[in-house]
Every structure is written in C-alpha cells, then in structure tokens.
Structure 1
Amino acid sequence: MPNLSLPQFFAVAILPLLFAITVHEVAHGWVAKLYGDPTAQRLGRLTLNPLKHIDPVGTILVPGLLLMLGGFIFGWAKPVPVTWENLRHPKRDMAIVAAAGPAANLLMAILWAIVAKVGYVLGPDSWAGIPMQYMGVFGIQINAVLMILNLIPLPPLDGGRVAVGLLPGPWAWQLSRIEPFGFFILLGLLATGVLSILISPPIHGFERLLTFLVGLQ
C-alpha cells in the first residue's frame, strides 16, 4: 500500500491486525476447551478483547520497529495456555489445538478478501470503498503471514506442535527437544533473511490465489 502515509496505514491496519492475533489465540483456547482443557477459559482468554492477548514487546514494539525500518513484519501475541494433560488424547489433540490458529487465519484471510471485494464494488465514489479495499488487502496480508509463519515445523510454532503430534514417538520426542531454542532459531532466520526467503513465496502465492478467487485481479 505505497500511497498511504504512516498514520493512514495504521488507521487501516489496526483492525485487521488486532483480529488476526486475537482470533488466532482464541481459536487455540476454544479448540482446547472442546477437547477437554478449560485452562484458557478459566484464565479469561476466550475473549476477543485484544488487551487479553497483546504482548507489549511482541505485538507492539517489535512489529512497530520492523515497520519503521521497512523490513519483514514479525511479531507474536501472548500464547494461550493449554494444559495438555487435560486433553482426552494429549498427543493427537495437541496437534489439533495447534492447527486451530493457522486455520483461523485462513478463514480471516478469506473474510478480509470479501471485505476488499465489497470495497472494490462500492468504488472510489463511496466514502467506504477505498478504506475497505485497503483494510481488506492488509487483512489478507497479515493473516497470510501469520498462517504461513506458524506452519513452519519448528516448535514452539504451531507447525512444530502439529509435527510433534503427527510424528512417531521417538521422532516427536527429538523434535520437541528443540522447543526451548525455537524462538532463538526463528530470530536467527529473521536476522539473516532466511525466514523471508522461506516464507515469502508461499505467502505471495496464497495472496495471489485468494485475490484471484474473489475477483480482485
């Protein structure tokens, strides 16, 4: 969105961003509750109130700095707590709980594509047309980034936990041992540019496919 000033960008980006991180985390907690773990509900995390999910560093400081530096936007929210022992089938159910976050981002990307399409149909003569287009496009972009990023099979990312749930016991155990170092590995990939090389093609491919399907291309 090169034609927007920084204040204009924040105006159209704040709502899609808050929904992207909030619904992603609520999806984890809701599915965990469905499979027997009420921890997130007891801690008040099954809410769309973004204040319950925002991490001051990961949700505000780091993405804001990266945005001003013109780099790849990267951030995180406070993880929804899951007590895996409460799950009926812990190994399998934990993979399903982890997959719920990226699935929520997929659904939100589709919804924001529809918002962008409605804005396109309304056109520039409508007061809402252009803002809806910009907001919808950013909604597609941020949800595509969160979905693809979290599908990387690296614990503690969702994709890593899905992989742990799907792999045979010994392999799952070996992969789970990476989790304490996963965040630092991710930061290293980000700092060296490898992360962008890995996830940019599928992100752009998903965005092009979605905009084509709703008739924005």
Structure 2
Amino acid sequence: MDKLYRFILILLSRGILLTAIMPAACFAKAWVSKMLGDNMPESTGRLSLDFRKHTDRIGMFSTIILGFGFGHEMKHDISNLKHMKRDITLISLSAPAAYFLMYIILMNLAILIYSISFSSFLLASVYFILKEAAWSSLCFGVIALLPLPPLDGFQIFYQFSWPKFRRWYFSHYQKIMYWSRNILYAIFLLAIITDGELSLIGFLADLWNKLFSHLIFFSIDFSKVTEKILKYIFRVNF
C-alpha cells in the first residue's frame, strides 16, 4: 500500500513537471529569443505555457512513466541576432536558469506549506509532491547543461569552440547526433536500472543542490514526512 501511494504521489509530481515546469522553461527560452531579435520560436507557437505546444505523445508518456522526457526541438533564426556568441549563450542559458529558479521556488513553497501544519498528512503529501517536482526541475536543468548535442550546454560550448572542432562537427553531424542520443538514453536508463545508485544526473544535481541550499529559506525535519505517511497508511504509532 505504501509503495502504491508513493507511486501515485510521484505521478502527480510528474504531472506538474509536464504541464507546468517544462512549458515554463520552454516559454523562458522563447521569450529570451524574442527579446534578442529571434522571432521564430514565437511564430512556431513556442511562446506559450500550453504544454501541448512543446511536446508530443511519446515525450508526454516518457515524462509521466519514466520521469524523464523530451519536447519538440525549438527552431531559431539566428540571422537576426546582433551579437551571435553572446545572444546564443543567453538563449541557451535561459531554460536551465528557469529550471533552477523553479526548483528554488518549489522547494521553498513545499517546506512552507508543510510547516503551516506539521501534523497534517495531507500537507505532508503535498510537500512530497512539490519536493519531487522540484527535484525533477533541478535534474532537468542539469540535463540541459550537459555538453551533448542538441542540448543547451552543447550550444554554449559550441559558441566558444575552436574552428577545427566546428568543421569536424559539421562533417560528422548525423553520426554525432546518433551517438549523443544513445549516450543520453544510457545515462537515463542506468539511473533507472540501478535505482539512482549510478546516476550522473543525480551526482550533478547534488552538487547544484548544495549551491542552491543557501536559497532555501525554510527548514523541516525530513524524517517526519515519511513517518506521517507511514502512520496514516498502516495506522501505527512510532
């Protein structure tokens, strides 16, 4: 029963990830693009908070069931950018920055809600949902910064790479994209198979979490959350 209830809460957190967090990050990227002179994301419907504009059925299914997913690649018209390297770097940083900001907001909100009534099982459940959604947001920000095409981290790396690398990249584009996607899938699947024991994303997320810990302004006894949920399910006293 406890595993089923936990799974339901995790599904709800992934629903928040799919319908609110991912669209907000895409919106931020499209908005920054527009501010810098690239109107293509807006013309293709990406300047929107509607999650249906940013993902497809496979991506939605993957996000809900597996906890990681993908959306439509955002198209850009860089010919209108005035400062190419700077503007592409800012555009590429906008989505990860949005994910990190939402992590900070959600974690503070989760702990604040729970602290209002520490004896409430309902608020403990809400806390768990928001905490899971916040952690997913942090992980998505970390993923976006990986230096693998077509992720934002690679776009930033590419802007400051040397000419020889750029020529090699263009001459082997299809093969690089093929292996890059396989590496990403391997990273995700390894984390799932090992239940997080061997997770590059988890390791990097922990590092970012330590950096952002100074921006989490509320505190909570985390052990009490699990205790309250187990007490409600099994009707036992600790």
Bucket of the pairwise TM-score, normalised by the shorter protein? 0.7 to 0.9
Structure 2 match to 1:23: 24
User: Is there any run of 5+ residues in structure 1 with no aligned partner, and where?
Assistant: 67-72
Per the TM alignment, residue 170 of structure 1 is displaced from its structure 2 partner at its CA by 3.2
| Matched position secondary structure for 2:200 | helix
Calculate percent identity across the aligned residue pairs: 22
Structure 1 match to 2:92: 98
Q: Matches of 2:152 and 2:41 in 1, distance apart?
A: 17
User: Is there any run of 5+ residues in structure 2 with no aligned partner, and where?
Assistant: 222-238
Q: TM-score, normalised by structure 2?
A: 0.75
User: What are the superposed Cα offsets for residues 80-102 of structure 1, whole Å, 9 maximum, x if unpaired?
Assistant: 22122222223332222111110
User: What are the superposed Cα offsets for residues 182-208 of structure 1, whole Å, 9 maximum, x if unpaired?
Assistant: 223322444456995322212134345
Is 1:136 matched up with 2:130? yes
Cα RMSD for the two superposed structures = 2.9
Q: For residue 162 of structure 2, what is the amino acid of its counterpart?
A: P
Q: Matches of 1:129 and 1:145 in 2, distance apart?
A: 24
Structure 1 match to 2:74: 80
Q: Matches of 2:117 and 2:34 in 1, distance apart?
A: 43
Moved more, 134-143 or 178-187: 178-187
1:147 to 141, 148, 152: 141
Q: Matches of 1:102 and 1:89 in 2, distance apart?
A: 21
Structure 1 match to 2:155: 161
Conserved? CA contact 1:116–1:133, under 8 Å: yes
Bigger Rg, structure 1 or 2: 2
Q: Matches of 1:98 and 1:38 in 2, distance apart?
A: 15
User: What are the superposed Cα offsets for residues 125-159 of structure 1, whole Å, 9 maximum, x if unpaired?
Assistant: 55862243123201221111101111111111110
1:120 to 114, 123, 145: 114
Conserved? CA contact 1:153–1:159, under 8 Å: yes
1:145–1:132 CA distance, 2 compared to 1 (3 A): same
Alignment of 1:38-77 (within 5 A): 38-60=39-61, 62-66=62-66, 73-77=67-71
Q: Matches of 1:31 and 1:111 in 2, distance apart?
A: 20
Q: Matches of 2:140 and 2:146 in 1, distance apart?
A: 10
Q: For residue 153 of structure 1, what is the amino acid of its counterpart?
A: P
